Amino acid sequence: MKLEAFLYKSGMSRADFAQLVGVSEVSICRYILNSRMPKREVLFKIAEVTNGAVTPNDFVPQPEANEEAA
């Protein structure tokens, strides 16, 4: 599950989630926008806080459908 989907489903704000994970709200926004990859320890903390709903693999960009067919 993507982080943005988790936050929406759980009703948790980005600010509250950032505090639980130990990063800034700006960092959470950057993770959601895929403009920054969380550090290893943050990836594990995110998985812990979400009870495994969001895993490190959820931050790896997936190939576009057009690229898979090529």
How far apart, in whole angstroms, are the C-alpha atoms of residue 33 and residue 11? 19
pLDDT tens string 45-60: 999 999 999 999 999 8
- The band of 70, judged by pLDDT with boundaries at 50, 70 and 90, is low
Contacts 24+ apart (CB under 8 A), 28-33: 28/3, 31/3, 31/59, 32/2, 32/3, 32/4
Among candidates 34, 40, 49, which has minimal Cα distance to 4? 34
Residue 66 has pLDDT above 70, yes or no: no
What domains appear along the chain, each with residue ranges and CATH number? 3-53 (1.10.260)
The pLDDT score that the predictor gives to residue 8 is: 97
pTM of the predicted model, to two decimals? Answer: 0.85
Backbone angles phi, psi at 43, to 5 degrees: -55, -45
Q: Diameter of the chain by CA atoms?
A: 42
pLDDT tens-digit series, residues 7-48: 999 999 999 999 999 999 999 999 999 999 999 999 999 999
